[in-house]
Amino acid sequence: MSTAATAHGMDKTRVKPDWPPLRQDEVHALLREFPGCCEPIEILFVSPRPFSAASVVSTRAGRVFVKRHHRSVRDRDGLREEHRFLEHLLAQGAQVPCVYSSLSGETAIEVDEWTFEVHEAPVAVDLYEDARSWTPFISNVHAYSAGSALARMHLAAQGFAAPRRKPRPLVSSFTIFADQDPETALARYLSERPMLEEYLIESNSCDQSLELLAPFHHELLPLIPALKPLWTHNDLHASNLLWNSTRDDARVAAIIDFGLADRTNAVHDLALAIERNIVEWLEFSSDSAEEDCVLIHLDHLHALLEGYESVRPLNEEEAAALAPMTALCHAEYALTEADYFLSVLNAEESVPACTEGYLVGHARWFRGRGGLKLLDAIRRWAESRSPSFQKVGAR
């Protein structure tokens, strides 16, 4: 049995996990509620992801993936939002795991302060199992396959008409910069998260980020009406993908971990995939003047976009929206992560990394040399694929 005593921190370090690892006795009790899962034999792998406790478990009927959330993060209704989306995707042939139902027909099981879910463990390779978010792909082929898998998922998501999720911790939404007035939308966002709102009274990080990101919002605003609402994954990085081999030319076998999913749009989801995989943010320091120390993998960018468009070509407005969306898409996740540390963990000492380092620091980077290098590469790509594209650059 693999027992991970540590979890991924917000940098390259390992830290004490937010939540205790799953125990054999609680897994045994849980799986009795799921027909076909049979008796668990061994906890094979303990996930190092910090926001829940999760493990791959072997049973007499095969492997399953068990995940336990604190109810303040995901209650039954919160998990059902994700599960309904997964069920729709699976019915449309998307490469996603099946969510198992209990004897009572429930996919989310509440026990005391916890909420559990049980997923199929696809027969595939977890090639990036120890990789953090913002870790680059191993190869251009991986980037291409990730792009095509995301596009197939977007096609499968069409027709899923559920409304936007209720305000919850750790959901990657798109509301603030989708509004004509981001300042008012931000105030509305914070009013639904009172502990975060109170904390930010003493901080100017929101004002700084709004000012830094204003040129990108101005660039995006006229294109927003053309971005059709769509339920999206919102966290497509290499370690949320399973693969068909360990080779550099491996292909995506499944997309996993829909915890951040919400109703946004396809361009927002693609921008997040760029932000998560193309920039090596783990080398970034908001105190550093050396912007060029942050590596940007433009070869992976072009492979990701080529893979995506091999399945679902972007229209002219979507292509034009991708560069500014890439600069904007991190903002609400930075805020929801800060809210998680405040309202769930009562860990105020962790909040500045989200508000100053992530929200403001990344916004400032996008206004500097490194950010403009990435965004200009996306704009040039958009121009090259569409001769009639009219550039409205944020300079």
Q: Over the stretch 20-74, which tens digit does the pLDDT of each residue have?
A: 999 999 999 999 999 888 787 899 989 888 899 999 999 988 999 999 999 999 9
Q: Would you state the pLDDT for residue 291?
A: 57
Q: Would you state the pLDDT for residue 2?
A: 41
Q: Would you state the pLDDT for residue 283?
A: 82
Q: Would you state the pLDDT for residue 215?
A: 98
Q: Which residues pair with 14 in a beta bridge?
A: 8
pLDDT along the chain (395 residues), means of 10: 48 72 94 86 88 93 94 97 98 96 96 97 90 87 98 98 95 97 98 97 96 98 98 96 94 97 98 96 67 86 98 97 98 97 96 96 96 97 68 39
Q: Would you state the pLDDT for residue 388?
A: 42
Angstrom distances, CA of residue 373 to CA of 37, 169, 253, 277, 378: 50, 32, 32, 16, 9
What strands lie across the sheet with 109-111, from one edge to the other?
Answer: 40-46, 53-59, 62-70, 114-120, 109-111
* Domains recognised in the chain with CATH numbers: 7-120 (3.30.200.20), 140-385 (3.90.1200.10)
Contacts of 353 (CB under 8 A, 6+ apart): 10
Q: Would you state the pLDDT for residue 6?
A: 57
Q: Would you state the pLDDT for residue 7?
A: 45
Instruction: Give the alpha-carbon dihedral of 275, 281, 284, 286, to 10 degrees.
Output: 50
Phi/psi-derived region of residue 280, left when phi > 0, alpha when psi is between -120 and 50, beta in every other case = beta
Q: Would you state the pLDDT for residue 112?
A: 95
Q: What is the DSSP string of 86-135?
A: HHHHHHTT-S-PPBP--TTS-SSEEETTEEEEEEE--SSB-TTTTPPTTP
What's the token pair of residue 191?
């009013």
Please state, in angstroms and rounded to a whole number, the distance separating the CA atoms of residues 351 and 356.
Answer: 8
Q: Would you state the pLDDT for residue 392?
A: 39
Q: Would you state the pLDDT for residue 232?
A: 98
At residue 326's C-alpha, the angle toward residues 320 and 332, to 5°, is 130
What's the token pair of residue 77?
């209704």
